[in-house]
A and B are shown apart, each in its own frame.
Chain A
Amino acid sequence: DAMVIQNPRYQVTQFGKPVTLSCSQTLNHNVMYWYQQKSSQAPKLLFHYYDKDFNNEADTPDNFQSRRPNTSFCFLDIRSPGLGDAAMYLCATSRERFSDRYEQYFGPGTRLTVT
């Protein structure tokens, strides 16, 4: 029962070539998150959507953008990938942001390689 799906699982892109990562969910959750995780470090939140409301973290570079065309799908766009953007990108969802039913459900991740 896949609940949070990420495609592709592995993505190779060239330095400076735009790339889009995809996330979909079957949970009908209101909130979708994008994280960057490097080298078994803790995931770092890039931004999240509450419904259609986009919320960017203060330290997320402008190079990273996101789109959420409907409840089920969310995309991460990297406009000009640099070598430092090579990482695992994790999508997560939660039903709400502030209620007790807050736990986040993560997808399997997309490992991005920049050549």
Chain B
Amino acid sequence: AQSVAQPEDQVNVAEGNPLTVKCTYSVSGNPYLFWYVQYPNRGLQFLLKYITGDNLVKGSYGFEAEFNKSQTSFHLKKPSALVSDSALYFCAVRDDYKLSFGAGTTVTVRA
């Protein structure tokens, strides 16, 4: 089965600083990787995906993710974090017909 892991439960950064949310994957074959964000009492919003092609994927709200095959990682990044980026972030991998999610990382951006 395909799986992802998010090693950090929480990430705290100051506004204006770079933000990184880590994700590693374990797959057989080529991975289809995704990042979603969830604000309190809301559904998940799609941020970006990696299917094939460029290792640097650009997504919504200024986020990007870097696919690294040798390190089996797909870290989410934002050069300058905003207070409004505070939310719960999920990494996911396509596993047959469904998504296998990581446990989630809570991001807090302090003013």
Contact = CB atoms under 8 A, between A and B. Distances in A.
Interface in A95-114: 97-98, 100, 102-109, 111
A90 interface: yes
Interface residues of B, number: 22
A8 B33 CA distance: 31
Chain A, interface residues (CB within 8 Å), range: 20 to 34
SS of B interface (majority): strand
Contacts, number: 53
Interface in B80-105: 88, 90, 94, 97-99, 101-104
A43 B103 contact: no
Interface of B: 32, 34, 36, 41-46, 49, 51, 88, 90, 94, 97-99, 101-104, 106
Given A42-B101, A42-B102, A106-B36, 9 more contacts: A6-B43, A42-B104, A55-B97, A92-B44, A103-B49, A106-B43, A106-B44, A106-B46, A107-B43
